[in-house]
């Protein structure tokens, strides 16, 4: 934007809104600020440990140990897998200015119905897995549809609706599980009927890393294609940035809310399948939990960008992989949760501060250019 001379070309050839030369510099700013937030939260965690009389250096020692052990790195990727998917699900909502707090309930519905319906069929391996994934997609999507329909037809805030649906999902699943789908087996563990081996997901590294990470990466890729490269994605982002302008531009807001919520719920439905198809092969009380929050945090930390989501999910997976070693070092593993929450708060605060700074700088520059242009004219 150094050229401030007045554009003499005919109107239709002028570049209406010249793109500021910002991409690389802004990416660096974002990266630096996110790193700062992460470092800050680690320092706070260290301080907390030190104040409470624990060995703070052990935290960083364990981190280094985990980073240098290949088994722990596999665990990190494995733990990051569902977070990538949950993060993408949340990010789709964010792109549309919708808060899908309901990822938690949506993936539980996905896991449960996948576990129940998956045992009803006998199919060859690939088909069986595909069928289960479709069931999970549909179940998550339908559960999200409740909130979407309530929002579109009755104006119910989706935040409250999805929170209630999370609690309701747990109750509904408990009811269906205890009344209808409890499988009486010889052993004492209470689970649904186990899935046949045709539904098992292969492993990349035996006992360490499920191949489900490939599904997660594919989800991130598809998210990128749909949201950033398709017409639908353009409409979605337009409605998210400025709903009024998008409506004026002929984008049906209600349809977009429904579509994005259904898509978000569908992807959320896939979150829990790593647990179902790669670990337990049945639904039981040791169900996965907490990926709703992790998804929100990962989406925010990754700024709704697929690459950012994958990287932040890896970071959160890494933090989760610390809980075992920390326990051994006599450090309460709940410190990991504290670190995550502080990272989330820190990142959103830093994002706000940076975006205000950037906006102010842009405004100042524009003002300066206007002055120059005014003087020239």
Partner 1 sequence: MSATIALPDSAPPPPPDSPKMSLALRVLGSRKLLWTGLSLFVVLSIIRATQDGADDLTSSGTIETTLRFTMPILLAGLAGLWAERVGVVNIGIEGMMIFGTWFGGYAAWKWGPWVGLLAAIIGGMLGGLIHAVATVTFNVNHVISGVALNTLAFGSMRYLSELLWDRSDIQGAGISQSPQQKSALPRFDLPFVSGGRIGSWQSPDLMGWFEKRGWPILGDIGGIVKGLTTNVSAGTLIALSLVPISVWVLWRTRFGLRLRSSGESPQAAESLGVRVIPLRYAGLLISGGFAGLGGGYLAIVASSYYRQGQTANKGFIGLATTIAGNWRPTGVLASGFLFGYPEALNRVGRDAIRHLLLFGFIIALIWCITSLIRGKWARTAFGAVIGGLLLQQWLIIDENGISESLTGGLPYAITLVVLAVFSQRLRPPAHAGMPYRPGDSH
CB atoms within 10 A of CB 287: 18
Tell me the per-residue interface mask from 114 to 153 with partner 1, x by CB under 8 A, - otherwise: --------------------------------x---x---
Q: Which spans in 102-198 are helix H?
A: 103-118, 125-154, 158-176
How far apart are CB 333 and partner 1 at their closest, in Å? 8
Q: Which of 29, 156, 226, 354 binds partner 1 (CB under 8 A)?
A: 156
Show contacts with partner 1 in window 292-351 (CB under 8 A): 293, 296-297, 300, 332, 334-338, 340-342, 344-345, 348-349
Could you give the CA distance from residue 163 to residue 105 in angstroms, rounded to a whole number?
8
Q: How far is the CB of 153 from partner 1 (least distance, A)?
A: 8
Q: Out of 32, 205, 353, 368, which residue is the one contacting partner 1 (CB under 8 A)?
A: 353
Neighbour-count burial of 97, counting CB atoms closer than 10 A to its CB (0-12 exposed, 13-18 middle, 19+ buried) = middle
Nearer to partner 1, 87 or 278 (CB): 87
204 or 354: whose CB is closer to partner 1?
354
Nearer to partner 1, 131 or 142 (CB): 142
**Does 359 interact with partner 1 (rule: CB under 8 A)?**
yes
**Measured distance CA(63)–CA(65) in Å, rounded:** 5
CB 147 within 8 A of CB 164: no
Q: Which of 95, 132, 92, 93 is nearest to 115 (CA)?
A: 132
Is residue 190 involved in binding partner 1 (CB under 8 A)? no
Angle value at C-alpha 89, between 86 and 95, nearest 5 degrees = 135
Query: How far apart are the C-alpha atoms of 359 and 347, rounded to whole Å?
Result: 18
Nearer to partner 1, 36 or 131 (CB): 36
Given a contact cutoff of 8 angstroms between Cβ atoms, the answer to whether 39 and 47 are in contact is no
Identify which of residues 105 and 278 has a Cβ nearer to partner 1 in the complex. Answer: 105
Q: CB of 226: closest distance to partner 1 in angstroms?
A: 24
Q: Which of 13, 15, 120, 155 binds partner 1 (CB under 8 A)?
A: 155
Report the C-alpha dihedral over residues 83, 88, 89, 95, rounded to 10 degrees.
Answer: 140
Interface ranges with partner 1 (CB under 8 A): 48, 52, 99, 101, 146, 150, 154-157, 159-161, 163-165, 167-168, 170-172, 174-175, 178-179, 293, 296-297, 300, 332, 334-338, 340-342, 344-345, 348-349, 352-353, 356, 359
């Amino acid at each position: 934007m150094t050229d401030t001379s007045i554009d003499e070309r005919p109107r239709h050839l002028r570049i209406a809104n010249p793109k500021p030369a910002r991409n690389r510099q802004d990416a660096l700013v974002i990266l630096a600020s996110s790193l700062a937030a992460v470092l800050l939260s680690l320092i706070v965690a260290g301080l907390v440990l030190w104040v409470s009389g624990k060995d703070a250096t052990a935290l960083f020692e364990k981190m280094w140990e985990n980073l240098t052990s290949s088994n722990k790195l596999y665990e990190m990727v494995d733990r990051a897998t569902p977070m990538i998917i949950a993060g993408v699900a949340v990010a789709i909502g964010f792109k549309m200015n919708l808060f899908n707090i309901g990822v938690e309930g949506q993936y539980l519905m996905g896991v449960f119905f996948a576990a129940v319906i998956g045992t009803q069929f006998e199919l060859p391996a690939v088909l069986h897995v595909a069928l289960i994934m479709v069931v999970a997609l549909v179940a998550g999507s339908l559960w999200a549809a409740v909130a979407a329909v309530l929002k579109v037809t009755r104006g119910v805030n989706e935040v409250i609706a999805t929170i209630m649906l999370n609690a309701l999902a747990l109750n509904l699943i408990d009811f269906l599980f205890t009344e209808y789908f409890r499988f009486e087996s010889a052993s004492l563990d209470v689970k649904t009927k186990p899935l046949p081996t045709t539904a098992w997901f292969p492993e990349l590294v035996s006992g360490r890393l499920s191949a489900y990470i490939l599904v997660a990466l594919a989800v991130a890729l598809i998210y990128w294609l749909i949201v950033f490269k398709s017409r639908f994605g353009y409409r979605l982002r337009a409605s998210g940035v400025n709903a009024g302008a998008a409506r004026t531009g002929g984008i049906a807001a209600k349809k977009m809310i429904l579509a994005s919520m259904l898509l978000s719920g569908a992807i959320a439905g896939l979150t829990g399948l790593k647990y179902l198809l790669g670990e337990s092969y049945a639904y039981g009380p040791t169900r996965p939990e907490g990926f709703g929050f992790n998804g929100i945090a990962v989406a925010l930390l990754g700024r709704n960008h697929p690459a950012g989501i994958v990287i932040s999910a890896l970071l959160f997976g890494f933090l989760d992989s610390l809980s075992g070693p920390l326990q051994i070092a006599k450090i309460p593993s709940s410190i990991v949760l504290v670190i995550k929450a502080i990272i989330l708060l820190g990142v959103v605060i830093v994002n706000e501060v940076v975006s205000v700074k950037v906006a102010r700088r842009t405004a100042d520059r524009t003002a300066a250019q206007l002055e120059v242009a005014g003087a020239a004219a």
